[in-house]
Amino acid sequence: MQVLEVHSDKMHVHFIDYGNKETVQVRTAERADSEFFSIPPLAERFVIAGFFPANGVSWTTAEYDLLQKKLLNAEFQVEIVGDNVTGFPPLIHLLNVDFVSRSVLPPLISRWPSLQAAQQFALAKRYTVFVTHYESLLNFWVQDSFEQATLDRFHAALASSVEGGKSRCLDPKQCWPGTLCVARYKGSDQFYRAVVREIDWQALYGVTFIDYGDSATVNISDLWPIEERFLTLPIQALRCCVTGQSVHIESDKLRSAFSVGCPVDICISAVSSVHHLVEIEVNRAAAGQQVPLLCPVRNDALPAVSRYVESGLTEGVWHSVCVSSVETDGSFYCQLLADASKLNTLMVELSSVRLLPLNGALLDGMACVVRNPADGCIYRAHVCIV
**What percentage of the chain has pLDDT greater than the value 70?**
76
pLDDT value at position 243? 61
Residues 157, 262: Cα–Cα separation, whole Å? 27
Q: Find all residues with CB under 8 Å of 265, minimum gap 6, and list them.
A: 126, 127, 128, 129, 280, 281, 282, 283, 284
Q: What DSSP designation does 106 have? A: P
pLDDT value at position 192? 92
342 — pLDDT class (breaks 50, 70, 90): confident
On the question of pLDDT at 262 being above 60, the answer is yes
**Range with the lowest mean pLDDT among 72-76, 109-113, 257-261?**
109-113
The continuous run of DSSP H or E covering 24 comes out as strand 21-25
Residue range 312-318: average pLDDT?
Answer: 75
Q: pLDDT tens across 47-92, in order?
A: 887 777 776 666 788 888 888 888 888 888 888 877 666 667 777 8
Beta strand pairing call for 91-94 and 75-82: antiparallel
The continuous run of DSSP H or E covering 180 comes out as strand 180-184
On the question of pLDDT at 3 being above 50, the answer is no
Q: Between 25 and 299, where is the model more confident?
A: 25
Ranked by mean pLDDT, the top range of 22-31, 79-88, 111-120, 128-137 is: 128-137
pLDDT value at position 361? 62
Task: Judge contact between 292 and 315, C-beta under 8 A.
Answer: no
Average pLDDT, the chain: 75
